[in-house]
Amino acid sequence: PDGAGELVHGIVTRGTAGVHTVEDWDTMGMRASQSHTTRLDDVVVPAERIFRHLPVGPNADPLIFAIFGVFETLLSAVYTGIGDRSLTLAIDSARQRTTGRDGVALSQAPEVRWQIADAAMAIDSLDAQLRSVARDLDEGADHGSQWFAKLVGLKLRATAVARQVNDAAMHLAGGRGYQAGSEIGRLHRDVLAGQYHPSSTESAHRTVATAWLGPQEDS
C-alpha cells in the first residue's frame, strides 16, 4: 500500500538482495507443489520496475484482469481434473468390488449406480462451464462487469464438484481408499486445498452478488 488507498505493483527479480525462500511447505496435501513462503527483507524495487498504482479490489485494469482470469481458470482446470480422475476411480471401484451378501458387483447395485450417475452429471456440467469460460477468455468476449462473477463462480463450482465426486469415490473405494498410499487417498488430501485458494466462498458470493445487485449500500 502507498498510503493513498492504492496498491503499488512492481516486479522483483529472483536473486535480488533481501529475497529469501523459507522452506516451510509441510502440508497435508498438494505436497508436490512445494509452494514455500517468499520473505522480503528491505527489498528495493527500482522505479523502472513499478508499473501500476491501482485501487484495492477488483477493477477493469488489464493487468488485474489478466492475472485473475488466468489464475482462476487454470486453478479450476486443475480441480476439474481431480474430479474427472476421481470419477474414473469410483467407476473402477464399483466394477471391482462386490457386495458382501451375494458377491454381485457394486456396479449392479441401484444406489451405487445412482451415485456414479450423479457424479458423472456433475463433472459433465463442470467441464462445459470450464470450456465456456476458457473459450471466452481466449476470444476476448465482452462480459463487462460480469467477468469477475463468472471467474469466481467457476472456481467455486470446480472445487465443490471435485470434492463431491472425490467423496463418492472414497466411499466406493472402501477401506483401501483410506490408505495413505492409495491414489484416491492422495486426491482426497489434494482436493481439500480448494477451499483455501482464492477466491474464498465468502469472497466469491460477495463478488457475484455485487455483479447482479450492485454494490451493497451502507446502512
**In CATH, what number is assigned to the domain containing residue 68?**
1.20.140.10
Q: What is the pLDDT of residue 81?
A: 98
Tens of pLDDT, residue by residue over 141-200, are: 999 989 999 999 999 999 999 999 999 999 999 999 999 899 999 999 999 999 999 999
Looking at the structure, do residues 49 and 95 belong to the same domain, yes or no? Answer: no
Q: What is the pLDDT of residue 58?
A: 66
Please tell me the pTM assigned to this model: 0.89
Residue 219 domain-assigned?
no
Looking at the structure, do residues 92 and 179 belong to the same domain, yes or no? Answer: yes
Number of domains in the chain: 2
* Rounded percentage of the chain residues whose pLDDT exceeds 90: 82
Q: Which three cell numbers stand for residue 157?
A: 463450482
CA distance 112 to 28: 29
DSSP 66: H
ω into residue 182 within 30 of 0, thus cis? no
Q: Which domain holds residue 141?
A: 62-213
Tens of pLDDT, residue by residue over 86-106, are: 999 999 999 999 987 788 999
Last residue of a domain, one of 37, 55, 73: 55
DSSP 33: G
